Amino acid sequence: MKHQSASALLKLGESIQDIKIQKRLSSVVMVVLLAISAWILGQLIWQPFVSDSITPWKPTATHSRTSSSNASVDLRELQNGQLFGQYQEQRVVVEKPKVQDAPKSQLNVVLVGVVTSTNPNKSLAVIANRGKQATYGIGEVIEGTRAKLYQVQQDRVIVDNSGRNETVMLEGLKYTKPEPRQVASASEARGTEDKLEQIRDEIRKDTKQVFQYVRMSQVKTDNDIVGYRLSPGKDPVLFEAVGLKPGDIATQINGLDLKDSAAMGEIFKSLSELTELTLTVERDGQPYEIYIEL
């Protein structure tokens, strides 16, 4: 009996202790709920009096210590920046006067052909030496010799052989001194160059215009086409500048044989895509290469 009474008293004590803990928890929860309710009530009361306007942001002014002389914009850096590219003056190609005093060369070489250009520095010469044939530009050393190609003329080339100008004639031609040519004044030369540049601009815009300055008329023998006779067009400047002479017979253009009646049609079709014309012409029974830059 005593043991049962003690157990009952122990359980009663534990129950009373649980009730006290629950009351404390209830009090804490009640305080928290009251605080939340008070905060919500305060928001509801003060909400109508709060302004919705937003104060615009203003940057804080800072005072520069830079002097007024340094505050101005320095345009020199912009000017030196070449924002729109750097102007480059076009170089005017000055033709060297034909070398007059150049004796016949003793070099054992054969001048097979020449290609003259409106730009003398682009003229070429085909020279054979010891059975080997090669094409040379201005300033290049002829293989097997110490001579450099100095100048290309219609019927000959001038070589610089150890500082001495010498003449190599086209194969089959006898050596003759070149005919003296009247030297144009500086103003005349400049006027010719300006006119030539205008013609080039016109041809660049429309390649077919080249045939307005170089006329071509068909030449036949026994109803067979042998070539096209060339003559100056509306202005002889281009015709003369490339080294053509009235009466030259064109037999090839860019490697196409003009004896073929269909050749000119092919040339006209591809003319807009070409950047140059290389004419093979016959003059006094000798072939010449004429180069026209488009």
pLDDT recorded at residue 188: 64
The amino acid present at 248, given as its one-letter code, is D
Extract the tokens encoding 110. 């054969």
Residue 4: pLDDT above 60?
A: no
| In this structure, CATH architecture of domain 109-169 | Roll (2.30)
pLDDT, tens digit (0-9, with 9 covering 90-100), for 11-35: 656 666 666 666 677 777 777 777 7
Q: Which residues contact 58 (CB under 8 A, 6 or more apart)?
A: none
pLDDT, tens digit (0-9, with 9 covering 90-100), for 147-193: 999 999 888 999 999 999 999 999 988 898 876 655 555 666 677 88
pLDDT recorded at residue 143: 94
Cβ proximity of 278 and 289 under 8 Å: yes
For 188-293, give the CATH class. mainly beta
Angle in degrees, CA 269, 272, 277, rounded to 5: 90
Burial of 94 (0-12, 13-18, 19+ CB in 10 A): exposed
Residue 131: pLDDT above 90?
A: no
For 82, what's the count of Cα atoms within 13 Å in the CB-facing half-sphere? 4
- Four-point Cα dihedral 194, 199, 200, 203, nearest 10: 160
Extract the tokens encoding 229. 């006779």
pLDDT recorded at residue 185: 54
Q: pTM of whole model > 0.75?
A: no
Cβ proximity of 167 and 156 under 8 Å: yes
The residue ranges of every structural domain in the chain are 109-169, 188-293
